[in-house]
Amino acid sequence: MIVLAVHKPMAEPQNGGTLEWTHPDQVMRLHRMKLKKRALQARMNKNTSTGQHVAKDLNEFNSNSSGSQHVSQKRKNPFVISETNKKAKDTLSATLEVSNDNTLFELLKLNGQREEKTSTGVSVDNSLTFANVLAKLESTSQTPDLNAPTGAAYIPIDWTLKTKMRFMSLKPFPWNGKLKTSEEASGTTGFVRCLNIGEKETTLDTSPNARFHQCCLIWQHPSLPWLELFPRSAGKVSAALASNIGIANNQCIKDALNREWCNSFRSLFHLLRAGQCPYFYVCANTFTVLFRAAGVCGLSEIHALVTPTTRGFRQSLKQQEIEYSMPLRKDSKRRSDTGDSDSKTVDAASETQTTNHRQEGDDYEEEEEDEAQDAWLESLGIENSEIQRINNSQARMTLEKESEVDNLRQSLVFVRGVEAQALFNFLINCKSATAATGALGGVPPTLLSPTAFHGATLKPLKIRESVVRVDNDKYYSLELNGPLLPHVLPSLCHLMKSSQLEQYSASCAQLAPTIPFTMAKHGTDQRVNVTEGEDQSSARVPLNVFGQENLSDCGFNEELLGHFCSPDPTRIDVLESIKCFNGLYTWS
């Protein structure tokens, strides 16, 4: 091992002036200190080349130094401020000099653009002051959310009769088909007395089961336990059972059934006129009639719809001088041979008289026209037999054209006002309303109503519960069978909403012949007493208010009654399936 000794002259001491030897470690320490000072000076002067040169000399010196004193390479100082950090620091220092109102928000938006366009199209300065932040929040709240749930807050009215309805939900329903004694009694009492047992204070049972049972009851006449009177399909009655009944062959039974039916029909129609029954159905073997009270659908008079009809039926209405319209028929202009006419009423009595005079005048004009045509053909030398053949052929073509809509949806007939009273008199004396032969021969039409009437029988709907699996998901199913009137679905959905069940679906089985009731909407155009320049919707408001007030004792609660009295035609639609999600409804 070689040790270097450096002879360095020192200052002469006071005691003798002899020379002293300096230790090599002290010499190296002084040399390193000089190199560090140079490197620091070069870094401070931003002289990179000088700094690198000094660092290189230092490294070379360290590598050539004595083996006894090993010096490691200088490592990089992690706390040295780089050029990038220095620029960011300078920018931050400049930013902190802005006003106190902008300080916090400017730190969050250092690299933003200076201006941006909000959703309202107004240019807003990107310096996020409190005023700009509030303006931006308001513009965001006005921007529609594409992920927001869609749907309507109401369920449209479907005037179609339904035979079956099924509800499905991922969560169990708050009620079931097994009723306790108090629940069944309270539900029946609430339905018969038209009480809102879930919304008003009462001593009755207000459990979900009782309220559910109240929604599953109906009034019907006649009620023959051995016959299925809804839907009116003779194919469901076996020939053996029909032969054993013998109603059609026993005149006394037929007369008794018809007499009781007339009393019940008359009682129900009087309730309708008095505003204590909102609507009811008359289900015959070949047609169905829907009577609606004044105020329902915003109409100021009682009205009725009949579907399907035939030319013979319409001819019978003409013979009874009952004026009607066919809303679903495109060419629903009145024809003298069938009596088809548009209903244009404000004063029903004066309109009927005017229409009768018009019909007589049209018949007289057509007779004169036929005579003129016959005379013109005779002047051409055509024989009378040939003229008669031409007339018969033309009459046959006219009858075929009028019979094209028979038993179709376009054959729906609408009457209102005094014509509805005339239709009631026609049906109560109509012999064709009751079949003379067949499995249901001698059985009068079925009357269905949400309110009680003379001779009515309280009938419950058939309920079946089950659990089904669809794609490995467990669903709770609730199926209802029977005559399902239009108010049943809205009532059950309102009950589910009050029971905090916000996600479910329902599917309905329609009675196809009654679908035109819904397709006809209100049955007529709702443009009555609307002056020029007046909003049509505002003109309907008094009709809706007065109609709803007149029907306050019909048995419906205020919300449901307001729904049925709405004059808006968009609130009437055919419902095959409906889904509820978070209180909003979608249907198809």
The structure tokens listed for 346 are 């404000």
pLDDT at 432: 87
- CA proximity to 460, closest of 223, 246, 114, 154: 223
pLDDT at 549: 81
Distance CA 328, CA 388 (A): 35
The structure tokens listed for 544 are 């809706």
- The three-point CA angle 17-19-25 to 5° equals 140
Pairing of strands 473-484, 503-510: unpaired
Assess contact for 192 and 452: CB atoms under 8 A. yes
Q: Residue 487: inside a domain, yes or no?
A: no
Distance CA 431, CA 444 (A): 10
pLDDT at 500: 82
How many other CB atoms sit within 10 Å of the CB of residue 334?
17
The structure tokens listed for 55 are 């660092």
73 burial type by CB count under 10 A (0-12 exposed, 13-18 middle, 19+ buried): exposed
Contacting residues for 237 by C-beta, under 8 A, at least 6 apart: 227, 228, 439, 440
Q: What is the largest CA-CA distance in the chain?
A: 176
Q: Residue 538: inside a domain, yes or no?
A: no
Contacting residues for 580 by C-beta, under 8 A, at least 6 apart: 493, 496, 502, 503, 504, 505
Distance CA 130, CA 150 (A): 34
pLDDT at 534: 40
Contacting residues for 4 by C-beta, under 8 A, at least 6 apart: 24, 66
- For tokens 């008199």, what's the residue? 425
Q: Which helix (H) or strand (E) holds 81?
A: none
Number of domains in the chain: 1
Assess contact for 332 and 342: CB atoms under 8 A. yes
- The three-point CA angle 141-144-145 to 5° equals 95
Q: Residue 125: inside a domain, yes or no?
A: no
Assess contact for 414 and 326: CB atoms under 8 A. yes
pTM above 0.75, yes or no: no
Distance CA 534, CA 512 (A): 39
pLDDT at 545: 64
Q: Residue 450: inside a domain, yes or no?
A: yes
Torsion of CA 187, 189, 194, 198, to 10 degrees: -40
Q: Residue 447: inside a domain, yes or no?
A: yes
Task: State the DSSP string of 154-176.
Answer: S--B--S-EEEEEEEESSPPS--
Could you list the residue range(s) of the whole structural domain that residue 423 is in?
Answer: 221-233+245-328+403-457
Q: Residue 413: inside a domain, yes or no?
A: yes
DSSP state of 473: E
- For tokens 């230092």, what's the residue? 58
- CA proximity to 221, closest of 475, 481, 464, 483: 483
pLDDT at 226: 86
The number of angstroms, rounded, from the C-alpha of 252 to the middle of its chain's C-alpha atoms is 51
pLDDT at 192: 94
The structure tokens listed for 177 are 């088909």
Q: Residue 417: inside a domain, yes or no?
A: yes
The Cα-based distances of 34 to 23, 28, 72, 222 in angstroms read 18, 10, 18, 121
Residues 148-180 as b/e (b if ≥16 CB within 10 A, e otherwise) read eeeeeeebbbbbbbbbbbbbbbeeebbbebebe
- Which stretches of 119-250 are DSSP H helices? 130-142, 181-192, 208-214, 239-245
pLDDT at 342: 38
Strands (E), 43-112: none
Backbone phi, psi, residue 302, to 5°: -65, 150
Distance CA 498, CA 492 (A): 10
pLDDT at 310: 92
Q: Which residues of the chain have pLDDT under 50?
A: 1-17, 51, 66-72, 96, 98-101, 103-104, 107, 110-126, 128, 130, 140-141, 143-144, 146, 244, 332-365, 525-542
Q: Residue 262: inside a domain, yes or no?
A: yes
Assess contact for 73 and 62: CB atoms under 8 A. yes
pLDDT at 353: 40
